[in-house]
């Protein structure tokens, strides 16, 4: 076993170095990066729904970020903006290099996991029908169709409180009120206009000041917005939000590439929307066997939160960080989750029937203001992460309403489609 472990380590190192050599040549010919902007001053959040976290105890690191920006901003340090630009450029190059290496590593697992643009048939082949259907529904909401339900009069009657462009867009797109094709009320209600305005205002304050700090974006905007989406969903009682920032993939062999001599690097994502505990799920959990060669008994690919299955996976990045790094973290995380499914005792029996084939997964990636969905699918040969659908942002209320509608639909999919399938593969 020691010899085999050493062999794997050697081969893993060789592949990583090989990937880095390819990257270096690729970078010299094609790649360049742009300096990132530095934050200027800390935000002064003064809202109720999104700022109630200000009064909560904060870690020492978060307290540091709330100090005078001159004490930690490179842009105002003794070396001035030149040092800030150099550090930002080095950080961007390092992130691009890491992403390139991870892309190659993911393509060598079995089954391989490819990063592919929608409609790229040369690389990914024809999209599965489940992918096409999910993509179409999400895209319609993202385009503004039927994003307002029967309660839309509450919002449309208060347009005078919104900036001019929001008023113009809402009045122009009155057909956004739900159609027969997309029944908005089935998925949830549009949040109160006060919460929409506060979310947009909070995002702008963060963008003006500490756009480069992920914890600030998460604490003041991303997490409370996800909580608001859940609270206004028709499935609010069936779902709950948990932070997985400190959760690691367990057992480690879920990262092993099947029939390969190396393993993927570990990864974690920021948030999981979990299914709330029910007696039925508890009874299923009692029958789940421990993972092979371990004492780990879990629904998922992590030892934490092992008694409740994951519903929706969310990875966040700050505004000044490339979202592609989050995409690769999500890809590794989902590879391990799909590998975990194969250890359920019912997996082989279920996988043989077309009616119970693995669904495709809508995965949520956030970069500062911007929210997008990638779709992960699997067939007999490979896994593909289809990239991507912009589903909205928090820069204005119009695009925020679209974002909420898409997330409501994803929560509905998790409860009505994904959970029934998950119950069929578990004992």
Q: Which residue has the tokens 């057992």?
A: 251
* Phi, psi of 275, rounded to the nearest 5 degrees: -75, 135
pLDDT string in tens for the chain (427-residue length): 444 444 444 444 444 444 444 344 444 444 343 333 333 433 333 345 565 554 343 443 333 333 333 332 323 333 444 444 444 444 444 444 555 456 656 776 778 888 899 998 888 888 999 999 999 999 999 998 888 888 878 888 899 999 999 998 888 776 666 565 668 889 999 999 999 999 999 999 998 875 558 888 999 999 999 999 999 999 999 999 999 988 888 888 888 755 455 567 778 899 999 999 999 999 999 989 888 888 889 999 988 888 899 999 999 988 878 878 889 899 999 999 998 998 887 876 666 665 567 899 999 999 999 999 999 998 888 899 999 999 999 999 999 999 999 999 999 999 999 999 999 888 7
- pLDDT score for 246: 87
Strands, sheet with 310-317, edge to edge from the N-terminal-most edge strand: 113-117, 383-393, 370-378, 361-367, 310-317, 271-275, 239-243
240, 264 Cβ separation under 8 angstroms: no
Q: How far apart are CA 220 and CA 240, in angstroms?
A: 18
* Phi, psi of 374, rounded to the nearest 5 degrees: -110, 150
Distances (CA, A) of 81 to 35, 66, 322: 11, 21, 21
The token duo for 50 is 């999104």
Helices (H), 209-294: 214-217, 223-231, 279-287
- Count CB atoms within 10 A of the CB of residue 209: 19
Percentage helix, strand, coil for the chain under 3-state DSSP, each rounded to 5: 50, 15, 35
The strand pairing partners of 376, in sequence order, are 361, 385
DSSP of 8-28:
HHHHHHHHHHHHHHHHHHHHH
With a CB cutoff of 8 Å and minimum separation 6, the contacts of 189 are 149, 151, 232
Q: How far apart are CA 296 and CA 304, in angstroms?
A: 10
In angstroms and rounded to an integer, the radius of gyration of the C-alpha atoms of the chain is 23
């Amino acid at each position: 076993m020691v010899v085999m472990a050493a062999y794997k380590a050697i081969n893993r190192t060789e592949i990583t170095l090989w990937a880095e050599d390819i990257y270096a040549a690729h970078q010299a010919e094609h790649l360049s990066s742009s300096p990132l902007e530095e934050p200027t001053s800390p935000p002064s959040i003064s809202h109720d729904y999104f700022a109630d976290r200000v009064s909560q105890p904060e870690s020492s690191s978060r307290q540091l970020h709330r100090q005078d920006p001159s004490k930690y901003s490179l842009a105002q340090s003794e070396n001035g903006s030149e040092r800030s630009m150099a550090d930002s450029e080095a950080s961007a190059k390092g992130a691009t290099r890491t992403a390139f290496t991870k892309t190659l590593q993911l393509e060598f697992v079995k089954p391989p996991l490819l990063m592919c643009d929608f409609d790229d048939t040369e690389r990914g082949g024809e999209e599965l029908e489940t992918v096409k259907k999910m993509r179409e529904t999400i895209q319609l909401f993202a385009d503004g169709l039927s994003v307002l339900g029967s309660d839309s009069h509450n919002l449309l009657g208060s347009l005078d409180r919104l900036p001019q462009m929001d008023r113009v867009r809402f009045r122009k797109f009155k057909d956004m009120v739900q159609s027969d094709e997309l029944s908005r009320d089935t998925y949830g209600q549009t949040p109160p206009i006060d919460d929409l305005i506060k979310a947009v205002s909070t995002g702008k304050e963060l963008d003006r000041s500490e756009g480069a700090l992920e914890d600030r974006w998460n604490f003041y905007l991303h997490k409370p917005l996800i909580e608001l989406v859940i609270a206004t969903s028709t499935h609010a009682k069936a779902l709950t939000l948990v932070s997985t920032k400190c959760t690691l993939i367990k057992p480690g062999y879920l990262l092993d590439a099947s029939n390969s001599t190396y393993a993927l690097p570990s990864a974690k994502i920021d948030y999981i929307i979990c299914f709330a505990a029910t007696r039925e799920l508890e009874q299923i959990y009692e029958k789940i066997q421990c993972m092979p060669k371990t004492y780990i008994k879990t629904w998922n690919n992590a030892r934490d939160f092992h008694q409740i299955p994951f519903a929706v996976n969310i990875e966040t990045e700050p505004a000044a960080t490339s979202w592609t790094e989050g995409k690769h973290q999500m890809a590794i995380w989902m590879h391990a989750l799909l590998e975990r499914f194969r250890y359920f005792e019912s997996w082989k029996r279920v996988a043989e029937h077309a009616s119970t084939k693995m669904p495709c997964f809508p995965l949520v990636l956030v970069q500062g203001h911007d929210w997008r969905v990638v779709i992960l699918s699997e067939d007999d040969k490979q896994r593909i992460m289809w990239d991507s659908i912009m589903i909205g942002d928090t820069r204005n209320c119009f695009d925020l309403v679209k974002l909420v509608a898409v997330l409501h639909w994803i929560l509905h999919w998790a409860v009505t489609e994904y959970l029934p399938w998950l119950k069929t593969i578990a004992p």
